[in-house]
Structure 1
């Protein structure tokens, strides 16, 4: 099966005078099931709809947007696999040097906020043709949201882009229903009944059983109102338990229908059985993003971990969708037949690799609970901890001919693993599925910070570390844990950052990379960052806002680096923790900056003593420590 057409010439060569849909993407075209563009277009193709792909068009040139002519049913627009602003800017709002979703990693192939830019161009060129937006950027901005880069509350992206319809979440079923509706003759403005869609209207007289959110104007004026509105949205992300949400704008209403139902196992198997080329279009030289996923397999979707800083639950929901063992093994076989396969399956997993079933038996029928989490602050009494199905899949894949090793790189929830009374999976994880280092995400050590993150307390992590060490000794392995840690998360002040630094000193570990908290739409932590309130309790939350404090928190995690000395010193002094400056076993930094030899007068000042005063051959003022 060939790639879908990316130019008019390719479209004509494949026998199409007109396609049903033109898919406009902010990413380069990669026909791999880890890319949303590939999944949506292949699903449409499987249901008999033709698609052309306009990847990274020059938004200054209208001819690029008209090259395919007018599609029969409409345009589909996505910013790409990740939010364009995250893709373009670091947490310090510095322009990144590389775009992993563009040819050879070249930056600048797409505008900021391409969902808005592309849609507005299409609405100008084809005012009577429906334009529908989707993907992660649209999904997380479907209602009013705090925008970190503008530092303000922005409107629903449906309003800003002037699109006819927004599709959110995982959209295979949604896109087929929308395509069928358009093919039947319905206008886009009349498609107001499909799950996983957001639409706008002047009147809500025909909308029933909904929750009226505060208006956009109200959430802009008052942060407390914003936090209350966000909490309502976050409580209504489950496909079964959620209600329709309505957000008023000046003269308009934005209506969010219920989320799409989680895919059944048969539907998941169908999606991943489609004839993907599993690589980028031959017109490109190299797309860096393919490197991690080309030999990886998606085994599940959704996450009931509900970390406060993660948007997965807002996009995919909390109920897990899984594939059958047969489907995964069949995909693994196809991977082993690829000419550049070296024997290593890089990953079998999803948002959380070891979530291979719903959290409890009630979720498929009743949905996820609104008022409680599955794992936090303690595991729910109804939680079922079972790795047997996932383990069965891993065994089957690693037994395939030509497979040397099957790694798990997409995140293990160590708490869920520790709750399993059967050590069988833990044993085989250590023996077969780690490439020297196991990356896990305790994220922090401070109890106050972990509570705001929605993560388990440090005591469970420390037990996991000890058990991991014992398992490695048992199986004669030399493997290590690499902890993912985060600085400046809401709830973390300098004392929390210092507590983490002291832990890192104790375990003799300096992170090579430090992740600052990045406020992105759709997460409770971003709501805390903007409002200073926990949306669940409406109680105040400490937020590190200044560049200097964020830099100090980050430097404390890498206190061993000489270039961080001054920041660490200032952080300790500010927090009143000068007991951690010196040469004692618990001290983080010495009195003297490494590589720097201050004058004795300056040294005396740093020690907090009087400077030297000479009188003849005597020196006074220096007290013996």
Structure 2
């Protein structure tokens, strides 16, 4: 085994004078199956192609891009595991100072909107070479989309990148088919029939049947669906919401139609999604000869921090039918579960025990949702996923298969491997699905063997009207889960805790909902160390709500907290004990008329101002804590009253 070519010397050592495919990555080169660039390049290598990688090239000049020469067939481009804008900026649009996917964890190794920047640079240095984009950034921006950082609707990334093809979703099947057609001499502009791809072309370059469909005023003919144009969705939020719903419903390989969206005088065409990978195909992908670590050239910088989370983890499956509104999995991996075989996973676990640095702990055996190891129902195999309902929301479907036995058997086998001390589950347990299982065997063993004192779960919120917009189960389900968790731990005589993950300022959450969430955390006795503001990333239902103020599922209006001050108050309420949050919490409670939560009683969130000031001074508090105790008078009081009126108007 060895790393793929990253220098001319690497190519010469293999006897190569030219690559077949050049892969440009926004992440540092980590040869591990958790990284898309490793999977795609290793897969192409296994098909007999000569492949090289240029990681994080400098876009200021073209020098880095030409180090491996002009490839024979195409340049493949991805911004990395994470959208470059999400990677660079926080939810409050502040520049991040660290990048776990870069040498030494330092930021600044890739440009903003990396796919566009890399693609246009390749067009400069290798004129006429086919450019194929993929990965999460390209996948989620394939249509006209709301961009949080520009605060406007942007065109398809196909137009701005000038790419010839876009591979969306998990790209193994499409990239093999594209490579085959290119090798057979088919021009890239003629490759129009590959599932899991999108392209952009003028009307005269489209197939005859698509042209006829468009000329017939589009609509929906069972095979194609014409979306509202870029110009329409950029100007009309209702049109945007309706168009997004169509896109959202057509991401299934069995039922999905070809989608067409006009951009000025050109058209974006999305072919139906790629067929789900078989167990055999999944096994092959994860059996490729990965080095399972970063390229040795990064050692002098301190390595690549991102490897720490996945180095001793195993991906057991792909896809998720959970249907969370804020998640882009529907658009990328899809709702259909794609499995690896038990033996494939066992073999990988054994390999982990041979790795340097392995201390007996496997950090994860899971996927997007760890306990979704098989299809949601038998109907999905032939009829695809349902368009008009989710598997778990608002109530579990009667056809849902609830069974943890296969996953439990897998975990038992991994635990028995010599050298394995403990197997953790970190990729997330869907607690509502777990509570549907009448057999407590998995729940019992989860608590007994797969938790290291704390189980992180994601209720996201506890107020039902917010959970409804999130596509999550009501609070009663979570409360039932928490109760059962502690009952089981008492039974097995273990002291373990639940750490809930919450989101502030999600569409549908007003200040009153944020106060209710703070009260829940008070009763739980839990104060989150970190709070995640809702982040409007491309291609999610929640982002559509954020931009349009409409829920595309029912076109009802949704309250959206956008003002920085209100978002800061919602976030502060989740950490109401922190002295630096006192002012924001105090103001939020005044605005919502919850003065009953300011006082000395056990149900109060904060103390009155004078008492808070004395307490801070007595404790030798910081200047922030002392300042937090100053009285609000004059214009400050008027602002509170104005905010309260505004809140009332917004709700009605």
CA distance in 1 between counterparts of 2:272 and 2:630 reads: 66
Per-residue CA deviation, residues 318-359 of structure 1 (Å, 9 max, x unaligned), is 010111110000000101001210000000001000000000
Kindly indicate whether residue 215 of structure 2 is the aligned counterpart of residue 192 of structure 1: no
Q: CA deviation at 1:605?
A: 6.9
CA distance in 2 between counterparts of 1:63 and 1:512 reads: 44
Aligned counterpart for 1:477 among listed residues 478, 491, 494 = 494
Residue 274 of structure 2 is matched in structure 1 by: 260
> Once superposed, which parts of structure 1, at least 4 consecutive aligned residues long, lie more than 3 Å away?
594-599, 601-606
The answer (yes or no) to whether the contact 2:41–2:51 under 8 Å persists in 1 is yes
Residue 96 of structure 1 is matched in structure 2 by: 96
Does the residue aligned with 2:457 lie in a helix, a strand or coil?
strand
Residue 273 of structure 1 is matched in structure 2 by: 287
Q: CA RMSD in A?
A: 1.6
Superposed counterparts of 1:533-612, under 5 Å: 533-592=550-609, 593-594=612-613, 595-596=615-616
Q: CA deviation at 1:241?
A: 1.0
Does the residue aligned with 2:298 lie in a helix, a strand or coil?
coil
CA distance in 1 between counterparts of 2:78 and 2:633 reads: 58
Q: Which segments of 5 or more consecutive residues in structure 2 lack a partner in the other structure?
A: 214-222, 618-625, 638-652
Q: CA deviation at 1:585?
A: 2.0
Kindly indicate whether residue 264 of structure 2 is the aligned counterpart of residue 250 of structure 1: yes
Aligned counterpart for 2:242 among listed residues 205, 224, 228 = 228
Q: CA deviation at 1:61?
A: 2.0
Per-residue CA deviation, residues 213-237 of structure 1 (Å, 9 max, x unaligned), is 0110000110010000000000111
Aligned counterpart for 2:209 among listed residues 183, 206, 209 = 206
Residue 218 of structure 2 is matched in structure 1 by: none
Per-residue CA deviation, residues 426-456 of structure 1 (Å, 9 max, x unaligned), is 0110110001100000000111100000000
CA distance in 1 between counterparts of 2:307 and 2:171 reads: 22
Q: 1:566 to 1:604 in 2, by over 3 A?
A: closer
The answer (yes or no) to whether the contact 2:577–2:606 under 8 Å persists in 1 is yes
Per-residue CA deviation, residues 265-305 of structure 1 (Å, 9 max, x unaligned), is 11110100000000000000210000000000000100000
Does the residue aligned with 2:93 lie in a helix, a strand or coil?
coil
CA distance in 2 between counterparts of 1:590 and 1:605 reads: 18
Instruction: Give the total of aligned pairs.
Output: 607
Does the residue aligned with 1:132 lie in a helix, a strand or coil?
strand
Residue 219 of structure 1 is matched in structure 2 by: 233
Q: CA deviation at 1:603?
A: 6.5
CA distance in 2 between counterparts of 1:6 and 1:106 reads: 21
The answer (yes or no) to whether the contact 2:6–2:68 under 8 Å persists in 1 is no
Per-residue CA deviation, residues 410-441 of structure 1 (Å, 9 max, x unaligned), is 00000000000111100110110001100000
Aligned counterpart for 2:479 among listed residues 462, 477, 496 = 462
Aligned counterpart for 1:318 among listed residues 319, 332, 335 = 335
Residue 53 of structure 2 is matched in structure 1 by: 53
The answer (yes or no) to whether the contact 2:287–2:344 under 8 Å persists in 1 is yes
Residue 487 of structure 1 is matched in structure 2 by: 504
Q: CA deviation at 1:596?
A: 4.5
Q: CA deviation at 1:576?
A: 1.2
Residue 43 of structure 1 is matched in structure 2 by: 43
Residue 115 of structure 2 is matched in structure 1 by: 115
Identify, as 1 or 2, the structure richer in helix: 2
CA distance in 1 between counterparts of 2:633 and 2:231 reads: 54
Q: Which segments of 5 or more consecutive residues in structure 1 lack a partner in the other structure?
A: 610-625
Q: TM-score, normalised by structure 1?
A: 0.95
Q: CA deviation at 1:127?
A: 2.0
Does the residue aligned with 1:109 lie in a helix, a strand or coil?
coil
CA distance in 1 between counterparts of 2:14 and 2:330 reads: 39
Kindly indicate whether residue 379 of structure 2 is the aligned counterpart of residue 344 of structure 1: no
Q: TM-score, normalised by structure 2?
A: 0.91
